Each structure stands twice: as structure tokens, then as C-alpha cells.
Amino acid sequence: MLILGIETSCDETSAAVVRDGWEVLNCVISSSQKDFTAMGGVIPEDAARKQLESILPVIELALKKANIGHNDIDSIAVTYGPGLLGSLLVGTSTARVLARIWNKPLLAVHHTLGHLSSTWLKEMKSEKRIVKNDTVSIANDEPHFPVLTLSVSGGHTDLWYRNAHTNGVLAGTTRDDAAGEAFDKGAVLLGLPYPGGPALAKLAESGDETTFDFPNPLQHEKNPDFSFSGLKTSLKYLLRDLGPKAEDQKTRVDIAASFQFAICRHLGSRITMALEMYPETKELHIVGGVSANLRLRALATDIGKRADVTVRWPSVLSYCTDNAAMIAAAAYFEQTEKTERKPAFQTQATASLQELIAATNTAA
Ligand code: KG4
Ligand code: ZN
């Protein structure tokens, strides 16, 4: 089954052609992110205007690079939420029109379900890396459920325990900021450019992460929820207390490394707790923008070794952050696993995946 995926939930305009939920024939991602560097964040109306200009050329390019015509695709999948409403509407309106004129079925996909599907994606010419104990091998792409997935981005931080691609329970979630938001806010405090996560990770590269001690939140809680707002406040006070010394380059890299470690350690402690709660887990996945973080990957690899579970993250960097290939993949799994699921297609800025899964399970 060949699916054309469309994703426009934030500042990106992306279209991809994916076969059977795994093989990416092509994925085009056009982002207006650099236009917002000077503003320190996305301006929703500006992002939507840029997406309106780029959506058709991006779709055309994805089809052309995949070397197929629109007659070859079986269906069109589009993100219906959550995200910026204007941006989402550009994608959903375009998808509706194309589905009508090309006479193709239209599939609505939850953005988070897209991220949860991103670890299976494989570029036609590259192989997926998985890490099992000390060996790095080529995955045979067979999913081994149950899978515990840390979905960690600028908008959400969730732990999903799934027995199938499109079914499972939300084991833990953030009570305040998302992990990516913590990276972004920390970067602002350190005077780094938007988007802050990659910039802070870069600054942290040569730092000593043991220099400054940040709190490890929610250690006495019995469920694997997250909280990041305290870490951000601690960083603010640390910078205030250090005064001019915080401007010193060596101190800056050590602060960045220690702050990054605190975020990753907190994520790691929640993963460990969830693995104890769900001992049948066969694979640990990390997905979403923050899964690009190398410190987090190293920590997840250690946890995977200790728990004897396979660890995966998206095979290429562009599948960590928002992209249309993951939307096409999720749509495929929705079709193959839940043929009865017909979510009401309404573009929604605040769509809950937990409610969607619960509603489907009740109906089934
Ligand atoms: O999944 P994504 O592209 O968009 C959302 O759905 O939010 O994630 C973007 C987030 C941003 O907060 C960004 O700073 C963070 O992912 N991020 C990183 C790294 N690359 C992206 N955070 C830490 N280290 C990175 N290397
Ligand atoms: Zn995302």
C-alpha cells in the first residue's frame, strides 16, 4: 500500500510517499524555522502563510522524487492535530481537495501516533540501526511488542506502553513543561538561538556534566510522570548566583552539560520505573525531536542493556523531528490494525491520543 503523507502541524511543511508503513520512497521537509530565529520562536500566522505557499510544491516534489504519479498512490494521510490551528488547516484543506480530485481515500492521523510510528521507517537506500547489548545490527523491521516508547518533543513528553502499533496505554506524562520545552527555555536563559535544544546540546558537548547539581524531580512518586519546570527555575537561580562568572565560556559549557544531564537523567529514571511496571516489555523506543539528543540516546542504551530490551530510535535525524513519513506510516498501521476505526475528521489544535484510543477500544 502506497500512502502519500502530509504534515503541517508546526513550522514545517512535509510530504512523503511510504510503502506499507516502513519504506520511505521519499520524504520532503521544508521548514520556516530559520525565519523565526530572530523572534525566538514560531509566529503561528506567519508559519501558516509560508506553508500555504510551499504545500503544493512540496507535495509535487515528494511524488517526483519518489518517481511516481498521483495515480500510483492508494490513499492520502494528513495530520489532523494537535498543533497550530492555521498550520494544520493548510495541510488538512489541501489533503481534502487532493483526495476529492484524485479520488483517493483520505486518512486523518494523530500527530503523536505519527511519532510513535517513526522508529519503523526505513529509507530505501539506508538500513536501520538498532542497538542490542553491545552489538549494532540491522533491524529486520519485525516489531516485537510490547513496546515502551518515550515520545519526547517540544510539545509533549509521554511514555506509551503498546501491544500494537496503534493500541496501548499512556503510562506517564508531563505535569508541566515538555522536555523539549525545558531544553528550549534553558537555551533562552543561556542566550542561545532558537530552536534551543540542538544549540544547548552542541554547547554541552565539551562540558563536564558533574559540575553543577540539578534536582531530580518526582523521585518519590509511584508513577512515571515527568516534571521539568523546577529544572528551569533551578537554572535561573544558578545563573543569578554565579553572576558574571556565568559568562565565562568554560562555566557555560559545564552549565549546559549539567542541565542537559539533569533533563536526560529525569527521563531515564521514568523509563526505568516504567520498565519495572511493565516487565514484559521487549523494546524501548525513543521518538520525537529530543530523541535526536546523543546524551539521551547513550542513557537509553545503558538502560536497555540493564533491562535486556532492544533500544530503537528513528533511523535518520529528520524522522526524529516532525515529518510526513511518520504520518503515512501511522496511517498504514491504522488501516491494517483498526479497519473499523473511522475518526471524525475534524482539524483539532488540541487532540488527545489517549481519548482517541479509548474511544476506539470502547466501540470495538
Ligand atoms: O518533535 P519536534 O520536531 O516538534 C514537536 O512536535 O514539538 O520536537 C522539537 C523539539 C524542540 O523543543 C527542540 O529543541 C528539540 O525537539 N530538539 C532537541 C534536539 N533536537 C531537537 N533537544 C535536545 N537535543 C537535540 N539534539
Ligand atoms: Zn512532533
Ligand 1 atom nearest residue 294's Cα: 26
Give yes or no: residues 148 and 276 share one domain.
yes
Write out pLDDT tens, residues 92-135.
Answer: 999 999 999 999 999 999 999 999 999 999 887 544 444 444 43
Q: Which residues contact 163 (CB under 8 A, 6 or more apart)?
A: 145, 146
Closest CA to 113 of 314, 327, 325, 358: 327
Note residues around ion ligand 2 (Cβ under 5 angstroms): 153, 322
The structure's pTM equals: 0.91
Query: Does 138 share its domain with 218?
Result: yes
If asked whether residues 46 and 148 sit together in one domain, one would say no
Instruction: State how many domains the chain has.
Output: 2
Q: Note down the domain range covering 353.
A: 2-124+317-363
Last residue of a domain, one of 291, 312, 333: 312
For the CA of 179, the nearest atom of ligand 1: 12
Which ligand is closest in space to the CA of residue 183? 1
Bridge partners of residue 75, in order along the sequence: 3
Q: Which helix (H) or strand (E) holds 109?
A: strand 106-110
Distance 158 CA to ligand 1 centre (A): 14
User: From residue 224, how far is each of 135, 149, 285, 305 by CA, in Å?
Assistant: 29, 13, 16, 20
Ligand 1: centre distance to CA 102 (Å): 35
Q: Which three cell numbers stand for residue 354?
A: 489517549
Closest atom of ligand 1 to 153 CA is: 8
Give the range among 214-218, 265-269, 311-315, 334-338 with minimum mean pLDDT.
334-338
pLDDT band for 155, please (50, 70, 90 cuts): confident
C-alpha cell of residue 221? 512518586
pLDDT higher than threshold 60 for residue 140: no
What separation in Å is there between the alpha carbon of 250 and the centre of ligand 2? 33
Q: What average pLDDT is seen over the chain?
A: 90
Burial 161-199 (b: 16+ CB within 10 A, else e): bbeebbbbebbbbbeebbbbbbbbbbbebbebebbbbbb
Ligand 2: centre distance to CA 274 (Å): 22
Confidence of residue 341 (pLDDT cuts 50, 70, 90): low
| Lowest-confidence segment of 64-78, 112-126, 302-316 by average pLDDT | 112-126
Same-domain check for residues 36 and 117: yes
Q: Which ligand is nearest to the CA of 156?
A: 1
Question: Both 233 and 213 in a single domain?
Answer: yes
Same domain? For 244 and 167 the reply is yes
Range with lowest mean pLDDT among 4-8, 118-122, 205-209: 118-122
Interval between CA 305 and ligand 1 midpoint (Å): 25
Tell which of 312, 334, 355 closes a domain: 312
Do 141 and 258 belong to one domain? yes
Closest ligand 1 atom to residue 202 Cα is 26
Residue 363 has pLDDT above 70, yes or no: no
Confidence of residue 283 (pLDDT cuts 50, 70, 90): very high
Pocket test for ligand 1, best of 290, 293, 313, 319 (most atoms within 8 A of CB): 290
Among 100, 25, 19, which residue's Cα sits nearest to residue 329? 19
| C-alpha cell belonging to residue 203 | 554547547
Give the separation between CA 227 and CA 225, rounded to whole angstroms: 7
- From residue 363, alpha-carbon distances to 3, 19, 109, 160, 356 in Å are 26, 29, 18, 21, 11
* Closest C-alpha residue for ligand 1 atom 24: 293
pLDDT at 343 over 60: no
Question: Region 169-183: what's the mean pLDDT?
Answer: 96
Q: In this predicted structure, what is the pLDDT of residue 342?
A: 61
- Average pLDDT (130-151) is 66
Question: Tell me, what's the pLDDT at 195?
Answer: 80
pLDDT at res. 199: 96
Question: Do 138 and 219 have their domain in common?
Answer: yes
Give the model's pLDDT for residue 244.
94
Q: With bands split at pLDDT 50, 70 and 90, how would you rate the model's confidence at 38?
A: low
Q: Are residues 297 and 328 in the same domain?
A: no
Residues having CB closer than 6 A to ligand 1 are 10, 153-155, 180, 183-184, 195-198, 201, 288-290, 292-293, 321-322
Domain co-membership, 306 together with 190: yes
Task: Report the nearest-CA residue for atom 14 of ligand 1.
Answer: 197
Check whether residue 258 and residue 191 sit in a common domain.
yes
Any idea what DSSP says for residue 319? G
Nearest CA to ligand 1 atom 3: 321
195 lies in the same domain as 80: no
Query: Any idea what the CATH number is for the domain that residue 120 is in?
Result: 3.30.420.40
- HSE, side-chain direction, 13 A CA sphere, residue 350: 0
Domain boundary among 312, 330, 350: 312
